[in-house]
Amino acid sequence: MKVHLIGICGTGMGSLAGLLKAAGHDVRGSDTAVYPPMSTQLNDLGIAVMEGYRKENLDWKPDAVVVGNVHGKDQVEVAAARERGLRLTSFPALLEELFLTNGHPLVVTGTHGKTTTSSLLAFVLFDAGRDPSFLIGGVPQNFSKSWRLGAPNGLFVVEGDEYDTAFFDKESKFLHYRPKTAIITSIELDHVDIFASLDAIKSAFLKFVALLPPDGLLVVAADSPAALEVAKTARCRVETYAVQTKTDEPLTADWTARPMATRAGGRTLFEVFHAQRPFGVFDTGLAGSYNLANALAVIAASVGAGLSSDEIGRAIRRFGGVRRRQEVRGVAQGVTIIDDFAHHPTAVRQTLSALRHRYGRGRLIAIFEPRSATSRRAIFQKEYAEAFSVADEIIIGAVHLPEKAPAGDRFDPERLAADLRGKGVAARHLTDVDKIVEQVVSGAGAGDTVVVMSSGGFDGIHDKLLARLGDAVVPAKNEDSAGMRALLGQTKLDYPDFEKHIDEMLILRDAERRVVGTVAMELYDQAGVLRALATSPDRRGEGLGWMLADAALNRARSRGCRRVYLLTESASDFFAEKFGFRAVSFDLIDALVMESSQFKASVGSNATAMVLDLQ
């Protein structure tokens, strides 16, 4: 099929384009915002992108023209498609038609936690060898892309959005997804631009639940009254889930999680009960009780799909999180910069509480951009004051496109700042991103955590903060490959396959954006391999090597590694004195580590193998 996507560089449309291409369809599209990373991803997939909207973009006579809910009937390509008699369809309708009709859709819905829950569910199924397809509204770190085409007519994980579908279809997107297994994480008032009340949202969810067949499964949060009310109407089996922190409380949900301990790297060990009987002990790097609830929902749905406790536990332990959900964008001068999508008061409060628990040694600074359709309105004005009071300092940025909120119903950032100051919390409203950066940099110190909360790019504030702080250790990107290759060559470090491990590498750039430091932390189940620790010769003696190695070890801890190995010919004293590594014989090294490219090549060499126990 020949498919044209209007707005192809949007996150959802770009993901659908990749899925269609993988399935063998001829895919092209158009957009006005053609820039990386999406433009690069589409180009790498061989998908043609036409910059700008014009009727000539349809001259290739596609079989279907996909339009999202941001474009109306008067949009130039929509109008041209109608004039030419080309078929107009929506993102959800095409997904249903081509991918969901004959398989087993597992649809994750709810006001909060959809992206993390669907990402974890997809990875659990993948790690257990079930070869799932998925389409998610975020990028799981374990996959580095938001879509995957798996076994035909097999398991398909979909993040189900209650937002409307298109100008010609005002029903919720998730009504197209033919659920056989479904998760409802919560139901609260949100998307107030299209839902007038909580009852209106519940009405949409009632229609969704009615789609589940009698032999289906609905997993629902026990602490969401609205979700429980909706679940009562289901024709299929319903299983509830809840997190309980008190061990003396009776188990009231079908699935219950109880936190047991906090481990190295901020990881949480928790016990799960099913039907009031012990089911297993699990280890996750996701922070916050709400993420334990997300993991518990995944456990319930995975058991419904036939997975064992061991299969599920291994994947949960190895799950690396989701980009833009508590994502560490870098560490500079000891200040951790975090990117998070939270904008609803409930999500704001839960996220800040989780970060306070994980990064509690310093101050917690929150920067908020009211950008979503809900946050630019005044409906949660009072609730935001309670939610943000968890932080030590709050900076509220400019409201994005305030004119899209009705006059008299617009969020007031100055009032929020005043309300927070009334609670004894340092707060201010700054509309200029550069001034926000200067305000943060002037007061932040080593051990502090800065979380940027926005559903958009926020004028590149994350990179501006890291650059202004200086000497930031950040995750490597594909565009850094040339600089990394040059540094590794300059320092005579042999790492021929480093581009295969780009997602496991950290780099350090100077003020001219030159790569002056690299390190890799390759992951092999419960073990890591530290390699490619290099610093530019003109920056030696500044402690950059220690910074890079420390950041890599922290990443290993957060990903559940129990030990880290390395090979060195001349720096064994450095690693022993600075970090506590000890020499180890090769016959005691993990089998998976010995299969890595570096350790395979080391057999018979003079290199010293070293290990650091992390737990």
Beta bridge partners of 267: 263
Q: Which amino acid, one-letter code, is at 298?
A: V
Q: Of 273, 275, 276, 296, which Cα lies nearest the Cα of 284?
A: 296
pLDDT above 90: residue 359: no
pLDDT in tens, 438-447: 999 999 999 9
DSSP character at residue 179: -
CB 270, CB 244: distance < 8 Å: no
- pLDDT category, 62, cuts 50, 70, 90? very high
Percent of the chain with pLDDT over 70: 99
pLDDT above 80: residue 192: no
Cα separation, 312 vs 46, in Å, equals 35
Average pLDDT score, the chain: 91
pLDDT in tens, 215-242: 999 999 999 999 999 999 999 999 999 9
**Using CA of residue 127, residue 130, residue 131, residue 132, what is the dihedral sign?**
negative
Phi, psi (rounded to 5 degrees) for 123? -70, -40
Cα separation, 350 vs 185, in Å, equals 14
Q: Which domains does the chain have, with CATH numbers?
A: 2-86 (3.40.50.720), 99-318 (3.40.1190.10), 327-470 (3.90.190.20), 479-613 (3.40.630.30)
- pLDDT category, 128, cuts 50, 70, 90? very high
Between 121 and 586, residue with greater pLDDT: 121
Cα separation, 414 vs 135, in Å, equals 39
pLDDT above 80: residue 14: yes
CB 359, CB 389: distance < 8 Å: no
pLDDT above 90: residue 251: no
Cα separation, 165 vs 160, in Å, equals 11
pLDDT above 80: residue 93: yes
Cα separation, 71 vs 73, in Å, equals 7
Per DSSP, helices labelled H in 85-185 are 91-95, 114-127
Between 456 and 518, residue with greater pLDDT: 518
Distances (CA, A) of 306 to 31, 102, 296, 301, 302: 42, 19, 15, 9, 6
Q: Of 150, 103, 147, 108, which Cα lies nearest the Cα of 125?
A: 150
- pLDDT category, 558, cuts 50, 70, 90? confident
- pLDDT category, 205, cuts 50, 70, 90? very high
* Mean per-residue pLDDT, 591-603: 87
pLDDT of residue 360: 74
Cα separation, 529 vs 521, in Å, equals 5
pLDDT above 80: residue 551: yes
Among 173-182, 392-401, 415-424, 495-504, name the one with the lowest average pLDDT. Answer: 495-504
- pLDDT category, 154, cuts 50, 70, 90? very high
pLDDT above 90: residue 493: no
* Mean per-residue pLDDT, 107-124: 94
- pLDDT category, 511, cuts 50, 70, 90? confident
Between 67 and 44, residue with greater pLDDT: 67
**Using CA of residue 351, residue 353, residue 358, residue 359, what is the dihedral sign?**
positive
